[in-house]
Structure 1
């Protein structure tokens, strides 16, 4: 079972940082869902440290195309 607390903290942190850097991104942008699913997979693979998940989330979003 995945511990939701580190995942939720990481998703919220990543999304806040990403939106601060990309002010034109809407809060409901589909990239948040994509990133959350990506991090969910990391959690299932036993990566559950908030800092580590945050790094994976930021790296993932940086690799996505500008238009999703």
Structure 2
């Protein structure tokens, strides 16, 4: 299981990259909560490092339909 620091770092990295690609998304957008929940579930499924979790997070956010968030 991944520790909390790795999870926080992965979420922050994924969120920073996503916002850089989507400047219209605010810092406190509800997508961040979805991202954190997604990464938390991934963490429970298998052990991952920060970079791998961040990659999963970015892919997850990119796959979400923008009109439903």
CA-CA distance at 1:48 after TM superposition:
2.8
Structure 1 CA distance, aligned partners of 2:48 and 2:4?
9
Q: Deviations over 1:17-44 (max 9, x none)?
A: 1001100000111111001100000111
Greater share of residues in helix = 2
Give the TM-score normalised by the residue count of structure 1. 0.91
What residue is the counterpart of 2:49 in the other structure? 49
Structure 1 segments (4+ residues) deviating >3 Å: none
| Structure 2 unaligned regions, length at least 5 | none
What residue is the counterpart of 1:60 in the other structure? 60
| Structure 1 unaligned regions, length at least 5 | none
How many residues are aligned here? 68
